[in-house]
Amino acid sequence: MASTRPRTAVPEQLGFDGMPERLFVCTPSKLGSFADCPRRYRYSYVDRPTPPKGPPWAHNSLGASVHTALKNWYALPTDRRAPGALPSLLKSTWVREGYRDADQERATFQTALQWLESYVATLDPAEEPLGVERVVATKTAVLAFNGRADRIDSRAGDNGAEAVIVDYKTGRSGLDADDARGSMALALYAWAAQRVFRRPCYRVELHHLPTGTVAAHDHTEESLARQVRRAEDTARDIMAAEKAVAAGADPDAEFPPNPGSLCSWCDFRRSCPAGAEAPAKEPWTAVDRLG
Ligand code: SF4
């Protein structure tokens, strides 16, 4: 979301006595939540108690199950990283919530297993990533960023070993290079990984398991810096809204809704007057007719 608040570079980071203000502690999903819909951000991170959420989504269960299976695949000794290990890996951490019934859940399990089998066939079992579900954290003048990258690979680059950010995707629609290029989350992971591992990290990849495709982008120093500035702008907007509310401003005005197609999939649709018009989705709608 484009920022609407006037900004100045340095003074805005200083308190009335010249002391730096606290850094904004954030993850990519926290920043993304505000960028998608400030009202949803408020429901998730500001309002206490948190407004009631809808029931769990089957597609989130599916995504979590697949991510955990891949994490545990890499936790195996290299000589046991074989497709035959996948059924028990997937079964042991399968998340059951949100499905319509046992038949749908069983069919989705089989689909997920096929995705995983096809995907691990493209991997070198002997290759150890730099990190799997690895938290990377770093600071800017505005942000204290931390995030958990699905995988960080080590690959040969023009100037020696480089880090590569890998993000698994399990949604229905495919992804392209523009998705990888435009992702603030991936850029922030790359930017943080450079600092954590002290090596170049410019390449970011979205691995879409349902289609077995990889959408990639090679960042530059400038494009990473641009994404960091974007994240800082979002953080400043959030801090300004939170400060205004603390000073007595109307929370509804400071965290406006951004109704649209996301509302049907929003956990807070039932709590949000702006989302009431959005067509309701069943918790299992997104996994229906998978495969
Ligand atoms: S229902 Fe729509 S407008 Fe309301 S919080 Fe969710 S995404 Fe925002």
Per residue in 136-149, pLDDT (tens digit) is 999 999 999 999 99
Mean pLDDT of 173-184: 93
Pocket of ligand 1 contains residue 272 by CB under 6 Å: yes
> What local confidence, expressed as pLDDT, does residue 4 receive?
42
Distance from the CA of 12 to the center of ligand 1, in angstroms? 29
What is the number of H-type helices and E-type strands within the chain? 9, 6
Banded model confidence at residue 196, pLDDT cuts 50, 70, 90: very high
Q: What is the mean pLDDT of residues 63-84?
A: 97
Average pLDDT over residues 100-127: 97
pLDDT tops 80 at residue 202 = yes
Ligand 1 pocket member 263 (CB < 6 A): yes
The pair of three-digit structure tokens given for residue 183, joined into one six-digit string:
């992702």
- Find out whether the beta carbon of 266 lies less than 6 Å from any atom of ligand 1: yes
Scored b (16 or more CB within 10 A) or e, 159-180 reads eeebbbbbbbbbeeeebeeebb
Confidence class for position 158, pLDDT limits 50, 70, 90: confident
pLDDT at 21 over 80: no
Taking only the tens place, the pLDDT of each residue in 249-271 is: 999 999 999 999 999 999 999 99
Q: Flag whether pLDDT at 2 surpasses 90.
A: no
Nearby residues of 228 by Cβ (< 8 Å), 6 or more positions away: 140, 143, 187, 188, 191
**Residues whose CB is less than 8 angstroms from the CB of residue 41 and which lie 6 or more positions away in sequence, other chains included:** 30, 33, 34, 238, 255
Six-digit token string for 118: 């096809």
Residues 6+ apart with CB under 8 A from 153: 127, 129, 130, 163, 164, 166
Taking residue 289's Cβ as centre, other Cβ atoms within 10 Å add up to 8
Nearest-CA residue for atom 5 of ligand 1: 40
Domain coordinates in residue numbering, the chain: 11-50+229-285, 58-120, 131-138+145-224
Backbone φ, ψ for residue 13 (5° rounding): -90, 0
What pTM value is reported for the model?
0.91
Polymer length in residues for the chain: 291
| pLDDT score at 276 | 87
* CATH of region 131-138+145-224: 3.90.320.10
Run of H or E including 161: strand 160-169
Mean pLDDT of 18-28: 82
Nearest residue (by CA) to ligand 1, atom 7, is 263
The Cα 282–Cα 289 span in angstroms is 14
State which of 263, 264, 271 you would mutate to test the pocket of ligand 1, scoring each by most atoms of that ligand within 8 A of its C-beta: 263
Q: What is the DSSP pairing of strand 160-169 with strand 143-157?
A: antiparallel
Percent of the chain at pLDDT exceeding 90: 88
pLDDT at 19: 58
| Residue 7 pLDDT exceeds 50 | no
Among 31, 53, 48, residue whose Cα is nearest residue 265 = 53
Other Cβ atoms less than 10 A from the Cβ of 209: the count is: 21
Give the lowest-confidence range in 7-21, 38-52, 181-195, 252-266.
7-21
Share of the chain above pLDDT 70, in %: 92
How high does pLDDT run on average in the chain? 92
Q: How far apart are CA 161 and CA 197, in angstroms?
A: 11
pLDDT given for residue 18 in this prediction: 56
